[in-house]
Every structure is written in C-alpha cells, then in structure tokens.
Amino acid sequence: MSHLIAPSLLSADFANLEQDIKMINNSDADWFHIDVMDGLFVPNISFGFPVIKAIKKHAKKPLDVHLMIVDPDRYLEEFKNVGADIITIHYEAVTHLHRSIQKIKSLNVKAGVVLNPHTNVILLEDIISELDLVLIMSVNPGYGGQKFIENTYSKISKLKNLIKQKNSNALIEVDGGIGISNINKLVEAGADVLVAGNAVFGATNPIDTIKQLKYL
C-alpha cells in the first residue's frame, strides 16, 4: 500500500471551509483529518459537532476524527452520527481503553489509539491486535504549525515491530510538523498515514503540495 495523506482542517480557512473541503476532494489526499479539542485535555479549543456535520455534507473522503478530549466515551456515538469514519482516542485520556475501543468498533467505525510524544508504544502490547490504527503524535497536541519531534522515527520502528510480532493489521499514522522535508523519512520508517496541516494550507498551491506529499 502506498502511504495515505490526511490534511488537517485545523489549518483550513474557517470562513471558507466549503472551498477548502472541495480543494481536498479534488486533490490526491486520502482522508480529512479532523482535530477536536476541548480546552481540558489540551490547552486549546477547536470545534465540535455542528462543524463536523457541515464538513461531512461536502466531504467525499473519509473523516478521520482525532479526539483530544477527556473522557471521550461520553461522545463516541455522537461523533459517529455526525459522520466520523475513523475515531482515534488518546491513550492518556481514558481509563478503560479496551472498552472504549470495543465501543467505537460496535458503532461500525474504525478505531485507533493516539500516543502523546512521551507515551511508550510498548503500552499497546495487549491491545494492538484490536486496533485499526495507531496515531503517533510527533508534536504535543493542541496546535498546528509546531516543530516535529525527532524521536518519532524510533517510535515508528518500535511500533512497526510490535505490529508484526502480534500479527496486527493496524496502520501507523503520524501527526504534527510533517511536510515535504521529512515525509520520505517517515514513510521509510514505516508510517502509513501522514497528517499535514500547516504544510498543506500554508502552501501557495495546496493541491500541488498534496501531490508532492503523496508521490515524493
């Protein structure tokens, strides 16, 4: 499988969302990455259900919903109802991770776990075979446009080994500080899905940048 590109709408123009969604529809991007922040789990607040519902109306590609919220169990069903195709929850934000993952899968939504930069991939050893994907944060969550953390490469390799060892089908997604300069090395290390916010929406020609990220 060639790697997938998931532009993060956090860096889109919120006053012209429809235009940015259509741009992604017409690009080589694979998924829409949707960052939900609650001002508690992370220091920032982004957007919620009405905005995701509006995005879904125009989006022709899967919605990859990254929940940076405490106690996400309270809202899983509602995220499904507004159009999530993939839901990822933070390892650091739930107590009964196994139960939360089962709940997402029971909604017929792909389920993933997100790891903050300090969280060791080995903590997924007993759940990796249940996961559709693992999202490795390559910045501390909360904001777009931050600097990529170099330790991410070794986390990807460790996770890749764990996935093999446990015969898991989980995809490896990486999020934060990704662009033309580091995408090759990330794919070589084993990343399957690459999120890019600032690199796409801050570019003079986003369509062209997405093509470069996809086929570099």
Q: Is 197 near ligand DX5 (CB under 6 A)? A: yes
**Tokens 């033309």, located at residue:** 180
Q: Which does 190 bind (CB under 5 to 8 A by kind): ligand DX5, Zn ion, none?
A: none
Per-residue x/- track, 53-92, ligand DX5 (CB under 6 A): -------------x--------------------------
Q: How many residues bind ligand DX5 (CB under 6 A)?
A: 22
The residue among 47 and 166 lying less far from Zn ion, judged by its C-beta, is 47
Q: Is 176 near ligand DX5 (CB under 6 A)? A: yes
Q: Is 132 a catalytic residue?
A: no
Q: Is 38 a catalytic residue?
A: no
Q: Is 142 near ligand DX5 (CB under 6 A)? A: yes
Q: Which does 177 bind (CB under 5 to 8 A by kind): ligand DX5, Zn ion, none?
A: ligand DX5
- Quote the CA–CA distance of 178 and 139 in Å, as a whole number: 10
- Quote the CA–CA distance of 145 and 150 in Å, as a whole number: 15
Q: Could you give phi then psi for residue 142, rounded to 5 degrees?
A: 140, -30
Catalytic residues: 35, 175
Q: Which residues bind Zn ion (CB under 5 A)?
A: 35, 66, 175
Q: Which residues bind ligand DX5 (CB under 6 A)?
A: 8, 10-11, 33, 35, 66, 139, 141-146, 175-178, 195-199
